[in-house]
Structure 1
Amino acid sequence: MSWLAELALHLIRALHLVALTVAPTWLSPEPLPPRALALWGSLSAIALAAALGLSAWFAARLETRLARNGAALLWVAMATALAATLYYRGPRAPLAQGVFVVAVPLWAALATLAAAAAEHWLGSSFKHRRMGAAILMIGLGSVQVLGASSLLGSRERMWWAALRRDGAHLRAIDELTTPLLAQRKLDELDGVAARCLKMHPLAAEPAGSAAPATCACLALRAEARLHARNAGAALRDAEAARERCPEQKGARAVLAEALAVAGRTERAEAEARAALEQGGEPSRLLYALALAHERAGRLAEARAEAERAIEAGAGRKAQLLAGALAILAGDLDGAQARLTPLAQQDPSDAEVLYNLALIADKRGDYNGARQGYLAALKADPRNAEARYNLALLTFRAGIVEESRHHARKFLEIFPDDPRGSQLARTTGTPLGAASSGGSPPARSGARRPAQEPAASSGAR
Structure 2
Amino acid sequence: MPWLAELALHLSRALHLAVLAIAPTWLSPEPLPPSALALSGALSAAALAAALGLSAWFAARLDTRLARNGAALLWLAIAAALAVPLYYRGPRAPLAQGAVLVAVPLWAALATLAAAAAEQWLGSTFKHRRMGAAIVVIGLGAVQLVGAAPLLGSPERMWWAALRRDGAHLRAVDELARPPRERRKLDELDAVAARCLKMHPAAAAPAAPATCACLSLRAEARLHSKNAVAALRDAEAARERCPEQKSARAVLAEALAVAGRPERARAEAQAALEDGGDPSRLRYALALAHQREGRLSEARAEAERAIEAGAGRKAQLLAGALAILAGDLDGARARLAPLAEQDPSDAEALYNLALVADKRGDYNGARQGYLAALKADPRNADARYNLALLTFRAGILEESRHHVRKFIDAFPDDPRGQKLAQTTGTPLGAAGGGSAPPAPSGARRPPQEPAASSGPR
Tell me which residue corresponds to 2:159: 159
Q: Which of 291, 302, 321 matches 2:318?
A: 321
- Structure 1: stretches of 5+ with no match in the other structure: none
Which deviations, in whole Å up to 9, do the C-alpha atoms of 1:87-146 show, x marking residues without a partner? Answer: 111111110010111111100000001111111111111110000000111111111012
The 1:138/1:328 distance shift into structure 2, 3 A limit, reads same
Aligned runs of 1:174-323 on 2, under 5 Å? 174-202=174-202, 205=205, 207-209=206-208, 211=209, 213-323=210-320
1:458 deviates by 5.8
Q: Which runs of 5 or more structure 2 residues have no equivalent in the other structure?
A: 450-457
Q: Is the 8 A contact 1:351 1:458 kept in 2?
A: no
Q: Indicate the residue corresponding to 1:450 in structure 2.
A: 441
The whole-number CA distance in structure 2 between the counterparts of 1:309 and 1:372 is: 27
Q: Partners of 1:196 and 1:63 in 2: how far apart?
A: 54
Are the aligned partners of 1:261 and 1:456 in contact in 2 as well (CA < 8 Å)? no
Per the normalisation by structure 2, the TM-score is: 0.96
Shift in Å at residue 203 of structure 1? 5.5
Cα separation, 2, equivalents of 1:88 and 1:204: 34
Q: Residue type of the partner of 1:307?
A: E
What pairs up with 1:384-423 in 2 under 5 angstroms? 384-423=381-420
Contact kept in structure 2, 1:168 and 1:215, CA below 8 Å = yes
Aligned-pair distance for 1:430? 3.3
Closer, same or farther: CA 304–192 of 1 in aligned 2, 3 Å: same
Aligned to 1:112, the other structure's residue is in SS state helix
Aligned to 1:58: 58
Separation in 1, partners of 2:254, 2:202: 23
| Conservation of the 8 A alpha-carbon contact between 1:252 and 1:275 | yes
Matches within 5 A, 1:9-24: 9-24=9-24
User: What displacement does 1:431 show?
Assistant: 3.8
Q: Please give the alpha-carbon distance, in whole angstroms, between the structure 1 residues aligned to 2:420 and 2:148.
A: 60
Structure 2 counterpart of 1:2: 2
Q: Quick check: 1:381 aligned with 2:372?
A: no
Contact 1:383 1:458 in 2 (8 A): no
The letter for the 1-side match of 2:339 is: L
**Count of aligned pairs between the two proteins:** 449
Conservation of the 8 A alpha-carbon contact between 2:159 and 2:172: yes
Q: Structure 1 pair 241/107, CA: closer, same or farther in 2 (3 Å)?
A: same
Distance 1:108 1:279 in 2: 48
| Distance in 2 of aligned mates of 1:190 and 1:346 | 22
> Could you tell me how far apart the structure 1 residues matched to 2:359 and 2:217 are?
38
CA contact (8 A) 1:229 1:456 kept: no
Correspondence list, 1:129-168, <5 A: 129-168=129-168
Does the 8 Å contact 1:355/1:450 carry over to 2? yes
> Equivalent residue of 2:307, what SS?
helix
> Residue deviations 1:241-263, cap 9 Å, x none?
11111111111100000000011
The equivalent residue for 1:364 is 361
* Distance in 1, Cα, partners of 2:298 & 2:441: 19
Offset at 1:208? 3.0
Within the candidate set 339, 362, 373, 1:342 is matched to 339
Displacement, 1:456? 5.7
Deviation at 1:81, TM superposition (A): 1.1
Deviations 1:321-352 (A, max 9, x none): 00000000010000000011111110000000
Q: What is the distance in 1 between the residues matched to 2:238 and 2:289? A: 20
TM-score, structure 1 normalization: 0.95
Contact kept? 2:203, 2:211, Cα under 8 Å = no
Q: Give 4+ residue runs of structure 1 displaced > 6 Å after superposition.
A: none
Query: Which amino acid in structure 2 is aligned with residue 69 of structure 1?
Result: N
**Structure-1 separation of matches of 2:134 and 2:90:** 36
Work out whether residues 229 and 457 of structure 1, in 8 Å CA contact, stay in contact via their aligned partners in 2: no
Q: Given that residues 190 and 221 in structure 1 are in contact (C-alpha distance below 8 angstroms), is that contact kept between their aligned partners in structure 2?
A: yes
Deviations 1:135-190 (A, max 9, x none): 11111111101211111111111111111111111111111111211111111111
- 2 CA distance for matches of 1:99 and 1:177? 24
| 1:360-412 deviations in Å (ceiling 9; x for gaps) | 00011101100000000000000000000000000001111111111111111
Residues 417 and 433, structure 2, Cα contact 8 Å, conserved in 1: no
Given that residues 29 and 94 in structure 1 are in contact (C-alpha distance below 8 angstroms), is that contact kept between their aligned partners in structure 2? Answer: yes
Letter in 2 for 1:133: A
Q: For residue 94 of structure 1, what is the aligned residue in structure 2?
A: 94
- Check conservation: 2:200, 2:211, Cα contact below 8 A: yes
Amino acid corresponding to residue 112 of structure 2 in structure 1:
T
Q: What root-mean-square deviation, in Å, do the aligned CA atoms of Structure 1 and Structure 2 show?
A: 1.4
Which residue of the partner structure matches residue 35 of structure 2?
35
Structure 1 Cα separation of the partners of residues 228 and 377 of structure 2: 20
SS in 2 for 1:424: helix
CA contact (8 A) 1:225 1:233 kept: yes
| Identical columns (%) | 80
Q: How does 1:63-78 map to 2 (within 5 A)?
A: 63-78=63-78
Q: Does 1:459 align with 2:448?
A: yes
Structure with the larger RCO, 1 or 2 (CA within 8 Å, 6+ apart):
2
CA distance in 1, matches of 2:141, 2:300: 59
